[in-house]
Amino acid sequence: MILLFDLGNSRAKWATWAEAGYAHAGSTANGGSDFADSIMRQLRPLAAPDRAVAANVAGPRAISAVREAAQSLWRLPVEELRPQGYQCGVRSAYSEPAQIGVDRWLAMLAAWNRFRRAVCVLDLGTAATADVVAADGRHLGGLIAPGFSMSQSLLLEQTAAIGAAGSNPGPVFGRSTGDCVANGCLLSVIGLARSALELMERECGAGGVLVATGGEAPRILPYLPVPHNHVPTLVFDGMLLAGGLR
C-alpha cells in the first residue's frame, strides 16, 4: 500500500493506493493549530504503508507534520516529489523547472499520460490554474489567477461597503451588490478557463482535451463550452507516475 499526501494551499489531502485502486482518503485544513493532531488522528487507524510520498506547496510546517506522523506511527520516511525539467514524457516550459508548483506539474503528467493528446489542465482550488501540454509532451505554459472563493474573499476584505457575497452564484447579472460580487468572481474563473482553451486551440489545433481537478471544479465545469474530463484524483495519479509507483 502506498500513502499519498497532496499538501495544497488551503487543505492537506491524503489517500492510499494499491493495485486495486484508491482506498482510504481524508483531508484537513492547513494553517490551524490542530493541523498536526488532525493528521495523526486520521492516519492512526491505517495499516503500515509500504511507502509514503508527498507533493507539498503548503510550506515547511505541513510537510514536517506529515513526516512526524509517519515516523511516529510506522517509522516510515516520506519522500517529497519535486518538479523536473523532463519527466514521464512531459517537458516543462519553465526555464527554471523547480519554480513551477509541484501540484501543477503532477497534474500535467497525469493528464498527458492518460490521453496522449493536447491537454488543457485546469486545477480549480484556492488558485485557478490552467496549463497546456501539446500532443508531443511539450508544456506550452500556464495561467494563474485567484480561485472563485479567494476572489470573493480578497474583494470583500478590500472593500468596506459590500458586506457579503451572494450565496447562489451564476453566469448572469447580479441584482444586489452581493450577487454581483459572487457572479463576477465566478465569471472571472470561467473566463480564465475559456481563454486557456482558446490558447490551446490556437497553439495545438482542434482536438485538445480539457481535464479538470480541484475542489471548486464542480462549481465551474457546468459553465464551460466544451466537454470535460473531471478527475478529482489527478494530482495523486501524477504522484504515482512520478514516483514510479505504477
| Nearest alpha-carbon partner for 27 in 50, 4, 45 | 4
E-assigned strand segments in 113-152 = 119-124, 127-133, 139-146
Per DSSP bridges, beta strands 86-87 and 90-91 are antiparallel
Q: Compute the distance between CA of residue 146 and CA of residue 71 in angstroms, rounded to an integer.
A: 35
User: Which of 103, 123, 131, 179 is the catalytic position?
Assistant: 103
Does residue 103 carry a catalytic annotation? yes
| Nearest alpha-carbon partner for 97 in 107, 86, 89, 88 | 86
| Nearest alpha-carbon partner for 25 in 12, 35, 8 | 12
Residues marked active site are found at: 103
